[in-house]
Chain A
Amino acid sequence: MSTPAEKLVPGGTAPAVDPAEALAARLRAQYAARITGELVIPAKHGQYVALPQDLDARLRTALAGRGVKRLYTHQAAAWESVQAGKHTVIVTPTASGKTLCYNLPVLQAALHEQAKALYLFPTKALAQDQVAELMALNEAGSLGVRAFTFDGDTPGDARKAVRTRGDIVVTNPDMLHQGILPHHTKWAQFFESLRYVVIDEMHSYRGVFGSHVANVLRRLQRICRFYGSEPRFILCSATIANPAELAGELINTGVHAITDSGAPQGAKQLLLWNPPVINPDLGIRASARSQTTRIAKQAVQRGLKSIVFAQSRLMVEVLTKYMKDAFDRDPRNPARVAAYRGGYLPSERRAMEKKLRAGELDCVVSTSALELGVDIGALDVCVLNGYPGTVAGTWQRLGRAGRRQRTALGVLVASSLPLDQYIIRNPEFFLGASPEQARIDPDQLLILLDHIRCAAFELPFRDGDVFGKEDLGEMLTYLQEHGVLHHEGSQWHWMDDSYPANSVSLRSVAEGNFVVIDTSCGAQTVIAEVDYSSAPETIYEGAIYMVQSAPYQVERLDWEGRKAFVTRTRADYYTDAIDYTRLKILEEQQSESAATPNRAGDGAPTGPDDSNVGTAPGRNYVSTHRGGDGVHAGHGDSIVGTAAGVGTAAGRDYVSTHRVGDGVHAEHGDSMVGAASPPRLSGLAPAGGASMVSRGEVHLVRRIVGYKKIRYYTHENVGYGHIDLPDQEMHTSAVWWQVNPAALDATFASRQQALDGFLGAGYALHIVAAMRMLSEPRDIGRAVGDGNADWFATVGASGRGQLRNSDGEAVDPLALQRFTPTLFLYDNYPGGIGISAPLFDNRETIVTGAQALVAACECAHGCPSCIGPILASDEVRGYSPKALALQVLGLLARHAS
């Protein structure tokens, strides 16, 4: 949303009684020990310039009508850049008037030359906001420019009018991909006069989604060439490290970047908050959830409009329940607290946004869904329940509070996840960090192939055409061999009766959302949607599925029909899925063996391998690769949360999931990750080095085996259930480490100890890799398995490593003929999204970084911040899991020394 410049008064003069400042002061006074760092950003004055000389008089009138008589400097810079015909990307903070940067040139061109523009927003909601904004400007100046949204909700009879009469068409990448480009002939007039393509919220086009969108834009550019137009791109982004680079990769050409904001900003205060330690031996802290709830309650009690961000949909529901228990006890009063997340029906979300704008809600609990520019009005306090995983994401969420001429307060509450703990204990790292790079890989083979199919459907390719960086001729030949293309003369024609765009989803791997149907009162009402990839872990039979913190129980899951039938329930627990993952190495592409002789013997079985820790480059890795991964945030929180149940729960709670994935599972994740490697690797033994690191292709099978019932507030396990769902399989790429069996035998007293060491080392490596490789939070997974495909390892109920065969049955490590533990970090996307190569290239830094992380951790024998949570009983197991992990890391590091 652009804020008219004149409406903002320079900040910094707020009186000391500012309510957010008062809350901050109170928190500081009461909980000084929990605040590990803080940041005060003073208010900033705006920098203005006069409206451009060449701006149309009607636009001046329109701007005056909206209270804008001059521009911020960045708006003027954008105008000049666009008028000079440059592709332009604008990167400035929230509420800095980005929309004017593109609306002005677009409206000018529409008024002067009947030029058309296409606006792309990542979601439908944002598109609708934008049209409302344009209409306001349009009316203020009686411009007569027609702007329409075109998306799945546009009625059939209105579509023709949009195509033929719209000056500005506002849509989303999915609609462009499935509804517009494949029907480009219907849009002929539009494409012929298309002058500008506007891409807002560009930072959301990263990872897999961004790689898809880059290909959709390649297709768009190809269609425009067919109609003889060459539109300029205007992109806008929240702060990321590499805006010009990302913009360039998205549109495949050079882009001029404007990064200096001229907009004024209100003052901001940020507190970094670490929950108190409640069990120093186990390194267990109070849950982030309880701290978040406490802070948010205080804010609401003081009359401050608040937003709480949680890392998972499940955590949103849990926190909403806690907040509602405090503020919405009387059903006769309108609700003061609401949840907002993906999966709710669009109408429900719109209603929520409206209430937020109108100030009818005091607190909203949200996932990252509200991180984008949905207009929700002004908020005072933002509480982050766990580190969002990226510096950029953290600032974006914090930016949700403080749009007004008041001080805004942000509180980042750390979970016990390692990444959170690292950041909270080293506040200078976060506070001084620059935001991350956004990465995409538009030439990822499967994604590229999908879009070549779509592009071939839209227009025949000609010999010699280029589309992406792979050899197009080869790709086309491949498609011809598979019967969808036909090479005739110099052209490749689509020859299939399918509509390829329908089978390509930009946002997820597999097709088909699940609908959640409430059958409570005999009727069948759709209450939510769940995407395919998260269905197995959220709507299995027996699951408690929450909507606005009202629990529903899944009675039946129709997997083929993509439906989950639920009924209202009064359960006092929620459910959390348990999964395990097996990996098999298919092909090794790169490998490096340890060159130095095995010195493993010098590490005493019960002590840390100090020689290696000493040589680790200290905290260097920190400064270069912060970032890490939001996904983690999901787990640790709950690991801590279960602290109360330490004595009683059978220890299973401390098993952490190995996926850096979404927070839902991660919490209490009992995930059993296993792996298997091909027989040939068992021949590793003769190699001279201590260890070997490789990169290549793997096959992965993930199975959801059951779920736990967890009682509210006490977080004790109150039961388990079995889940019978199809395995999820994928082929992807991975980096894996193996240790020479001789070195292994020489280093560890028992196979059990070696295994525990591998699991702990894997945990630490995973953290460091996630911090280094950040592209999207759920992009990396990890597993420990064997070289003979015989077993995979999990942390069992005993808190120790346990081997299981492919049927999930326990295996005794001593009964194995060969024992070659293999530690995998894999690219968590079919085909890989380009993480394994940089992982391999950074293998040394990652291993030394993991060593430093573990060695520097304050815990005695291991904790969720280094090698993973351990059990109370571990203190009597006679050896330190932390020391074992350091020994394994030492062996892995040696190959590089």
Chain B
Amino acid sequence: MRLESRLSRLKSMGSDSIDRAESDSKRSIESDPIDSPLRARLAQLQSHGRTTGRHVSTTTPALPVEALAKRLEGKCIAEGVIRIRQRVPLAGTLGGVSLTALHDEPRLPGEPGGSRRHVYIDTETTGLSGGSGTLAFLLGVAVVEADAIDLTQWLITRFAAEAAALSAFADILTAADRLVSYNGKSYDLPLLISRFRMQGLRPDFQTLAHLDLLHPVRRLFGKRWNDCRLLSVEERLLGFRRVDDLPGSEAPAAWFRYLREGQAEALIRVVEHNRQDILSLAVAHAALSQAIKQPGAYDVDLHALARWLYDCDAEEQARALLQANSTALCADGKRLLARLLRRAGHWPQAVAVWETLAAGGCLESIERLAKYHEHISKDLGAAQRCCDRLPPTPTILHRRQRIDRKLNATRQAG
């Protein structure tokens, strides 16, 4: 019995009736003769085996690699590697957004200023689930120069070309570069490291500094937006929407189709998609930097930004930000503001914020006030009243007793 038909039968675990299973397997034997007994057995065991590889559509003739390179305005730099270079002048726009903002080096909280070159990076891969069977068939990087964005993409058109493409990428990097990605910390970079290892290359780039813009975007807008995909960044931060974009999820099929059938239309769109991703990444970096300078204009989560500044030892900046926007703050923002004011010794302002919060029933603030009145203003009566507003936990009771003692002592002394 043939292996293919045996396999197809073995796999017939669906709800097919016996008769149908039989006729299916007969059909597969009759209409699809296979000369190999082993494969026939396999097919029989797997009656509804997938046949994605079999239907070859012949709508357009296969596009040879050289012709594909030409369509993409790139050139073959090694067998199966097409390099596409492009200079996007900063005088232009991206989706209506002026690129002039890129003239200034973007800076996020906690970043040292300086002369690090930012290398924006994005990959297109053969699958989203990761693992060593997934590779990056398209790797794009961009660096911002004085008057233009210099964008380079390496597209491989065969598996054997991967090492050459990875080496070409590694060659443009220097130790002083800083990679900038979108979700690259958990996706693109680990995948590239894995590919370098698979190809027996050393992934030296893994020691480079790396900024994953997804994290600051989540930090500043995670509570504001439904999701933090790059497309949302474009829409909400950069203010444009892509037209006729090929979804990233269709990238694997596009590449497979080119390898199997030479059909390049979808693959060409993947290259465009990747180019767009990288440019958006560069612009988003600048926009984020801008949003931090003018948080009000970008609907930034002020508390999150202040917290970020505070975590980066920019405490004064954080306080100034919160003070300037004190009326627009959420409760957490106000608590942080009061805390920063207290740390700076601005007691009256801190008390004012606590009192606002206390009026809203914030227990933490009432306790703060109790402490303030006990130790700073020495208004023991006020401290007592604060304690009475708090649930009688052992700590509070202890404080209350201590205040009572102090009051008695004061009265006796008086």
Q: Which residues of A contact B (CB under 8 A)?
A: 182-186, 188, 445-446, 449, 456-460, 470-471, 474-475, 477-478, 480-484, 486, 488-489, 491, 493-502, 509-510, 582, 584, 586-587, 589, 676, 697, 699, 701, 726-732, 789, 806, 830-831
Contacts and interface: CB of A to CB of B under 8 A. Distances in A.
Ranked nearest first, the 7 interchain pairs of A and B with the lowest CB-CB distance are A483-B53, A457-B133, A483-B52, A497-B127, A185-B194, A494-B133, A499-B129
Given A184-B132, A188-B197, A486-B259, A475 B1 contact: no
A586 B22 contact: yes
Contacts of A182: 131-133
Contacts of B159: 460, 486, 488, 491, 493
A730 B260 CA distance: 33
Interface stretch (B7-15, B172-180, B289-297, B306-314): B7-15
Contacts of A497: 126-129, 134, 252-253
A504 B14 CA distance: 17
Nearest to B161: A488
B130 A183 contact: yes
Interface residues of B, number: 57
B85 interface: no
A617 B266 CA distance: 73
B167 interface: no
A495 B51 contact: no
Contacts of B3: 445, 474, 478
Given A185-B194, A586-B25, A480 B53 contact: yes
Contacts of B198: 185, 459
B38 A470 contact: yes
Contact of A489 (B10, B51, B160): B160
A474 B21 contact: no
A445 B45 contact: yes
Given A185-B194, A731-B10, A830-B10, A726 B15 contact: yes
Contacts of A587: 1
Interface of B: 1, 3-4, 6-7, 9-18, 21-22, 25, 36, 38-39, 41-47, 49-54, 126-134, 158-160, 190, 193-195, 197-198, 252-253, 256, 259-260
B248 to A, nearest CB: 11
A678 to B, nearest CB: 8
Given A499-B129, A830-B13, 10 more contacts: A183-B194, A445-B10, A484-B53, A488-B159, A488-B160, A496-B126, A497-B253, A499-B131, A502-B129, A726-B15
Contact of B11 (A446, A483, A589): A446
Given A445-B6, A475-B38, A495 B13 contact: no
B382 to A, nearest CB: 45
A458 B134 CA distance: 9
Contact of A458 (B15, B132, B195): B132
A494 B126 CA distance: 9
Contacts of A183: 130-132, 194
B13 A483 contact: no
A456 B131 CA distance: 12
Contacts of B9: 586, 697, 699, 731
A481 B160 contact: no
A483 B50 contact: yes
A486 B137 CA distance: 14
12 contacts: A184-B132, A186-B190, A446-B45, A478-B39, A480-B53, A482-B49, A482-B52, A494-B126, A497-B127, A584-B22, A589-B1, A697-B1
Contacts of A475: 38, 42
A701 B13 contact: no
B271 to A, nearest CB: 18
A188 B54 CA distance: 36
A669 to B, nearest CB: 23
Contacts of B15: 726-727, 729
A185 B160 contact: no
A746 B274 CA distance: 81
Given A185-B198, A491-B159, A498-B127, A483 B132 contact: no
Contacts of B6: 445, 697
Contacts of B194: 183, 185-186
Contact of B36 (A474, A486, A493, A731): A474
Nearest to B256: A495
B261 to A, nearest CB: 12
A499 B197 contact: no
B129 A474 contact: no
Contacts of B44: 697, 731
A158 to B, nearest CB: 16
A509 B14 CA distance: 13
B226 to A, nearest CB: 24
Contact of A482 (B47, B51, B131): B51
Contacts of B41: 445
Nearest to A832: B10
Given A446-B11, A449-B7, A460-B159, A478 B43 contact: yes
A808 to B, nearest CB: 14
A218 to B, nearest CB: 16
Contacts of B46: 446, 482
B64 to A, nearest CB: 16
A831 B132 contact: no
B292 to A, nearest CB: 28
B39 A446 contact: no
Contact of A185 (B132, B252, B260): B132
A789 B54 CA distance: 35
A4 B193 CA distance: 46
Given A458-B132, A729-B15, A445 B127 contact: no
Nearest to A727: B15
Contacts of B16: 729
Nearest to B36: A474
A478 B4 contact: yes
Contacts of B131: 182-183, 457-458, 499, 501
Nearest to A495: B256
A489 B160 CA distance: 8
Contacts of A727: 15
A499 B127 CA distance: 8
B78 to A, nearest CB: 15
Nearest to B129: A499
A681 to B, nearest CB: 14
Contacts of B128: 497
Contacts of A699: 9, 12, 18, 21-22
A458 B133 contact: yes
Nearest to A485: B53
B50 A482 contact: yes
Contact of A584 (B18, B43, B190): B18
A482 B53 contact: yes
Contacts of A478: 3-4, 7, 36, 38-39, 42-43
Nearest to A678: B22
Contacts of A510: 13
A63 B13 CA distance: 54
A25 B52 CA distance: 71
Nearest to B198: A185
Nearest to B55: A483
A589 B7 CA distance: 15
A499 B125 CA distance: 13
Contacts of B51: 482-483
B29 to A, nearest CB: 11
A590 to B, nearest CB: 12
B323 to A, nearest CB: 36
A475 B51 CA distance: 15
Contacts of A491: 159-160
A701 B128 CA distance: 37
Given A494-B133, A727-B15, A445 B7 contact: yes
Contacts of A697: 1, 6, 9, 44
B160 to A, nearest CB: 6
Contacts of A482: 46, 49-53
A746 B181 CA distance: 84
Nearest to B14: A729
